Amino acid sequence: MTGVGSAEAPIGVFDSGLGGLTVLRALHELLPGEDLVYFGDTARVPYGTKGEKTVRAFAQQDAGLLVTRGVKMVVVACNTASAFALDYLREILPVPVLGVINPGVRTALASTRGGAVGVIGTSGTIRSLKYQAGLAAAGLSEGQIVAQECPLFVPLMEEGLHAHRMTELAIEEYLEPLRAAQVDTLILGCTHYPLLKAEIAEFMGPDVQLVDSANALAVAAQDRLGELGLLRADATAGREGELSFLLSDIPWKFQEIGARFLGKPIENMKTVGLDEMEEAGHAMEQL
């Protein structure tokens, strides 16, 4: 469904946990006058190790919760949910829905100089083959697409281990095959990975263009809202948009860790019960 709401309504963003805060940050920096509502399913994180059926059910509840809060757009700030549930959400939701994968693919295709394109992500995202299919549909051969699962990057970033030897070892282990393949463009196919951008760039070298999935998605959201006439009229008049946070659980140190992802303190935080999430998911089936 693609019903259109009010331009003054907030933009909804959801993720399985913390990683989507990098998307929220990119959206807030690009559209500072827009109100943003973030839902993190921190009680059931991670999604990247779960199967398609489970992720789709969770994504329906997550998106449904945001729709019940009156959002004008749902941004799926989770690569695994984008891979497994985006098409389904577009069928059942009454508002526009954007995911991470297509914007990342488009940006990579515009960045490549004709060499190989790499993509890194969680096991679920890489094994879904969605990034690979998008690149292949644009004409890249199988030999020009190099995909790599990097599951340890997520916990390393949540522990704040940027300059740690364990992170250096993980980067070497995961990215050496991409460097050996001489990729000229690398898609950071997980919303945690922008926090490692500097370290990844140093390892891959100056000739490799990194595609930040969070920034690509924010630009796509701005473009889509503009097409639909849903950008706030006062968003460019110095208005400071409100950020609010919904969580299915508040884990220890969430505010401390989340602030690193968001780049500013996290306030206005509330918890949502599983029963409310299930009701919201069921409500989307009735639309």
Mean pLDDT across 49-55: 91
- As a whole number of Å, the end-to-end CA separation of the chain is 9
Among 213, 245, 274, the domain boundary falls at 213
Answer yes or no: do 15 and 60 share one domain: yes
Q: Which domain holds residue 176?
A: 102-213
Q: Would you place residue 250 in the very low, low, confident or very high pLDDT band (cuts 50, 70, 90)? A: confident
pTM to 2 decimals? Answer: 0.90
Q: Torsions phi, psi of 240, nearest 5? A: -100, 115
* d(C-alpha 14, C-alpha 99), whole Å: 10
Answer yes or no: do 177 and 225 share one domain: no
- Side-chain half-sphere exposure of 229, counting CA atoms within 13 A: 4
Active-site residue (options: 11, 21, 86, 190): 190
| Lowest-pLDDT range of 4-8, 123-127, 130-134 | 4-8
Active-site residue (options: 71, 78, 204, 243): 78
Catalytic-residue membership of 190: yes
Answer yes or no: do 142 and 225 share one domain: no
pLDDT at residue 97 greater than cutoff 90: yes
pLDDT at residue 2 greater than cutoff 70: no
Among 213, 240, 259, the domain boundary falls at 213
Q: CATH number for the domain including 129? A: 3.40.50.1860
| Lowest-pLDDT range of 18-22, 32-36, 106-110 | 18-22
Answer yes or no: do 170 and 208 share one domain: yes
Answer yes or no: do 128 and 183 share one domain: yes
* d(C-alpha 25, C-alpha 259), whole Å: 10
**Residue 2 belongs to a domain:** no
Answer yes or no: do 168 and 237 share one domain: no
pLDDT in tens, 252-269: 777 888 888 888 888 888
Neighbours of 127 (CB within 10 A): 15
- The pLDDT value given to residue 235: 59
Q: Would you place residue 238 in the very low, low, confident or very high pLDDT band (cuts 50, 70, 90)? A: confident
- The total number of structural domains in the chain stands at 2
pLDDT at residue 1 greater than cutoff 50: no
* d(C-alpha 282, C-alpha 224), whole Å: 27
**Residue 4 belongs to a domain:** no
Among 166, 182, 213, the domain boundary falls at 213
Answer yes or no: do 121 and 190 share one domain: yes
**Residue 126 belongs to a domain:** yes
pLDDT at residue 223 greater than cutoff 70: yes
Answer yes or no: do 49 and 152 share one domain: no
